[in-house]
Amino acid sequence: MKNKNQSLMQPLQDFYQQYQLEFKYGLIAGIMVLFVGVIGMLESFQNREVIRDFMTLAQILLLGPAFVTGVLIVRRKSENNDALISKLTSALVIGLLTALPTLILVFLNAQVFEDLRSIFVNVNRNWVEVVTFDNDSLLIGSGLVALAMAGLSLSGGIIASLPRKISRAILMALTFTITIGVFGQTVGLILNQLLPEDVLDAIFRRDVLLQEPAMILFGLSLVGAFIWSYGSEPINQQYQAMPKQNQSIVRLIGLGLFSALLLALPFIVGRALSDTAVTIGLFVLMGLGLNIAIGLAGLLDLGYVTNYAVGAYLMAALTSRGPLGLSSEITAWLNSFMPITFGEQFINFWLVLPIAILAAMLTGFLFALPVLKMRGDYLAIATLGFGEIIGKLVISDWFSPVIGGAQGIQFIPKPEFFGTTLSNPEQLYYVVLAACILTLYVSVRLNNSRTGRQWMAVREDEDVAAAMGIDVPRAKLLAFTLSAATGGLAGAIFAAKVGSVFPNSFTVFVSINVLSLIIVGGIGSNPGVFIGALVLIGMPELLREFSDYRFLIYGALLIFMMVNRPEGLWPSKIRQREIRTDLETDPTLKAKQSTSA
């Protein structure tokens, strides 16, 4: 009996053995496509056109995975020097497999279940429209989708089997063009400041890239990518061959250009994007601060929002002109015994800013005291607990006479700077920029200081650090206190920017936001914070459709980064070195890397 069974299963098993990799890749991509459909991403991106009358964001999400897996499988197979035809067959098989799970659900939805929508809210007519290319017949539509996926996977495979430099150039140009299309609104807003209206209209119509400009853009970027892939190496060699002095001059010029760009940003991008830039800047501030605790000292602080809330509420309570504001009381009290009389505007943004920072530092210090002796994971949960306690207290009746409960505090005046009120985002941008640069400077100096090295020692091993004569509790306290400072700074600026504070702005999500941007950028890396904030805060602000799925994407990114790239997008040099030496000295790690790659 057993033998017979085995002989029956044998061909199937052989088939599976032969195409194991294809099955794996195809089904993963297929489940991804199914997933983005069922959670409603396809539906909400349906009306977002990337290239006018040619491609929507939903179609990119639907068909993109097939293309990418096509590229990946052929690259993987090229390592084994497989024949071209076998590589392309794999790509084709994968394309079809990618379509399979979604099409099964389309069939089930139409034939078997009467009302799947009452449970899975996004398995609805719009979804069916997207996954069948809006075809009247489900059969023809799903056939077309399967064909399109197979075709795209195949073309991905063909591109990947071209010589390395050419395929890279094509992929780069493709990514670039699609990125411009996806961020059409943003690009349009920027170009609006630079180009005359009629030129802009020829490229974008209602924020959507037109077809011909898209082709021209693709062509241009292809040329650029070719030049890059053939020219970057010689240039790099030339740079390396230069004397050290000239290298630093080149670097200085680069830095100068970058700072000029940063300074001129509000004029280039206009009001709406300046507002986004301010938000990004606030998160950069918090990221730089939290990076001291997480990146340098290895203290996973999940209650960082506390510092942000302290800064914001202090700014609000002290400067507000509303019923809850204390400014007139404090001025009156001061005037009652001081020899000079303070005016109405005595308590302003600039006076409260340092107070807010100090208050946040005090909070950080106080909350750090009880948790100093905890080990890493308990510390994370305890700080999360602190954050939640503060969140609940802020909204409770107990404190509402002081900070307004759910109504919050309103009428916070904008900062004034030598007579001008900094009321619009373009002006506030410079406040945030100055704060960021100052914080960056402090953080870089700390990184290279004795204290910074102490933190790193504590991060790596507390016991050894203590044995080396480092006062571990002191180092930790300092890390918490300093990291809290920028949280308070960001909160204070936030309060002045928005003009009112509500408990809803200070939930655990802020902490998670900051944590995610640090992880994505690279733990302990300062440039990483900028990259992370740009990607994680900037993207959902620019792509409104994404903001519904913001935390879904953050979660997926956290998992993905921890599993595949724990050092982040822009790793700090020390981390990079650590990971590399680990690989060199530890053979098991190296073996793991090579199997997983």
Partner 1 sequence: MKLRIFGDNFSLVDFIINVLRVVIIVLVIVGVSNTIMSGRFTVAQYINLFVAGLAQGSIYALIALGYTLVYGILLMINFAHGEVFMAGAFTAVFLAQAMDRSGFLDSAPIIAIPLLILFAGVISATVAVLLERIAYRPLRDSPRLVPLITAIGASFFLQYTFRGFYGSGFKSYPTVDALQGNFTFGEINIPIVQVFVFGIALVLMAGLYLLVEKTKIGKAMRAVSEDKEVARLMGINVDFIILVTFAIGGFLAGAAGVVNGLFRPQGVNFFMGFIPGIKAFTAAVLGGIGNVPGAMLGGLFLGVIEALGPNLVLAGLGVPGANQLKDVIAFTMLVLVLIFRPQGILGERLSETKA
Binding flag, residue 372, partner 1 (CB under 8 A) = yes
| Region 298-317 residues binding partner 1, contact defined as CB under 8 A | 298, 300, 302
Distance CA 533, CA 518 (A): 8
Stretch that binds partner 1, among 151-159, 205-213, 230-238, 466-474 (CB under 8 A): 466-474
Shortest spacing between CB 385 and partner 1, in angstroms:
4
Task: Report the distance separating Cα 529 and Cα 287, nearest Å.
Answer: 6
Q: Determine, following the binding rule CB under 8 A, whether residue 389 of this chain makes contact with partner 1.
A: yes
Compute the distance between CA of residue 504 and CA of residue 394 in angstroms, rounded to an integer.
10
Nearest approach, Cβ of residue 555 and partner 1 (Å): 3
Q: What angle do CA 105, 108, 111 make, to 5 degrees?
A: 145
- Interface mask toward partner 1 for 31-60; x: CB under 8 A: ----x--xxxx-------------------
Among candidates 141, 80, 61, 77, which has minimal Cα distance to 109?
A: 141
Taking the complex as a whole, how short is the minimal distance between the CB of residue 387 and partner 1, in angstroms?
Answer: 9
Candidate residues 344, 354, 370, 407; the one interacting with partner 1 per rule CB under 8 A? 370
Burial class, 574, CB count within 10 angstroms (exposed 0-12 / middle 13-18 / buried 19+): middle
- Which amino acid appears at position 46 of this protein? Q
335 lies in the site for partner 1, by CB under 8 A: no
Smallest gap from Cβ 323 to partner 1, in A, equals 19
Residues in binding contact with partner 1, number by CB under 8 A: 58
Contact status: 578 vs partner 1 (CB under 8 A) = no
Q: Residue 64 phi/psi, 5° resolution?
A: -55, -50
Q: Is 385 left (phi over 0), alpha (psi -120 to 50) or beta?
A: alpha
Rounded distance, CA 480 to CA 78, Å?
Answer: 50
Shortest distance in whole angstroms from residue 494 CB to partner 1:
22
Q: Which of 125, 164, 206, 373 binds partner 1 (CB under 8 A)?
A: 373
According to the binding rule CB under 8 A, does residue 271 interact with partner 1?
no
Strand partners, 91: none
Q: Three-state SS for 51?
A: strand
Residue closer to partner 1 by CB (options 311, 387) is 387
- Rounded CA-CA distance 427/413 in Å is 14
Give the CA dihedral 276, 282, 288, 292, nearest 10 degrees.
-150
Spell out the SS3 assignment of 363-406.
HHHHHHHHHCCCCHHHHHHHHHHHHHHHHHHHHCCCCHHHHCHH
| Residue 574 binds to partner 1 (criterion: CB under 8 A) | no
Minimal distance, residue 368 CB to partner 1, in Å: 10
Phi, psi at 423, each rounded to 5°: -95, -30
Cβ nearer to partner 1, comparing 267 with 378: 378
Stretch touching partner 1 by CB under 8 A, among 5-13, 95-103, 344-352, 379-387: 379-387
If the CB atoms of residues 125 and 373 are measured against partner 1, the closer one turns out to be: 373
**Of 483, 475, 448, 446, whose CA–CA distance to 459 is shortest?**
475
| Residue 474 is a binding residue for partner 1 (CB under 8 A) | yes
- Of 403, 390, 315, give the one whose Cα is nearest residue 356: 315
Q: Is 147 in the site for partner 1 (CB under 8 A)?
A: no
| DSSP result, 476-529 | HHHHHHHHHHHHHHHHHHHHHHHS-B-GGGSSHHHHHHHHHHHHHH-TT-HHHH
Q: Which two tokens stand for residue 78?
A: 């090229």
25 binds partner 1 (CB under 8 A): no
User: Quick one: which of 107, 239, 378, 441 contacts partner 1 (CB under 8 A)?
Assistant: 378
Q: Which of 219, 231, 254, 385 binds partner 1 (CB under 8 A)?
A: 385
Supply the minimum distance, in Å, between the C-beta of residue 460 and partner 1: 10
User: Which residue of 566, 577, 580, 590 would you call a contact of partner 1, by CB under 8 A?
Assistant: 566
Nearer to partner 1, 84 or 381 (CB): 381
Q: Which stretch binds partner 1 (CB under 8 A): 52-60, 77-85, 112-120, 186-194?
A: 112-120
Q: Reduced to 3 states, what is the DSSP secondary structure of residue 119? A: coil
The residue range among 97-105, 171-179, 232-240, 297-305 that interacts with partner 1, by the rule CB under 8 A, is 297-305
Does 124 sit near partner 1 (CB under 8 A)? no
Answer for which of 45, 218, 386, 502 binds partner 1 (CB under 8 A) is 386
121 binds partner 1 (CB under 8 A): yes
Residue 595 and residue 597: Cα distance in Å, rounded? 6
Which CB atom, from 196 or from 401, has the smaller least distance to partner 1?
Answer: 401
Q: How far is the CB of 531 from partner 1 (least distance, A)?
A: 18
> Residues 44, 121: contact at Cβ < 8 Å?
no
Contact residues for 80 (Cβ-Cβ < 8 A; gap 6+): none
Chain residues that interact with partner 1, rule: CB under 8 A: 35, 38-41, 118-122, 298, 300, 302, 369-378, 380-382, 384-386, 388-389, 392-393, 396-398, 471, 473-474, 477, 508, 512, 515-516, 519, 549, 551-552, 554-559, 562-563, 566, 596
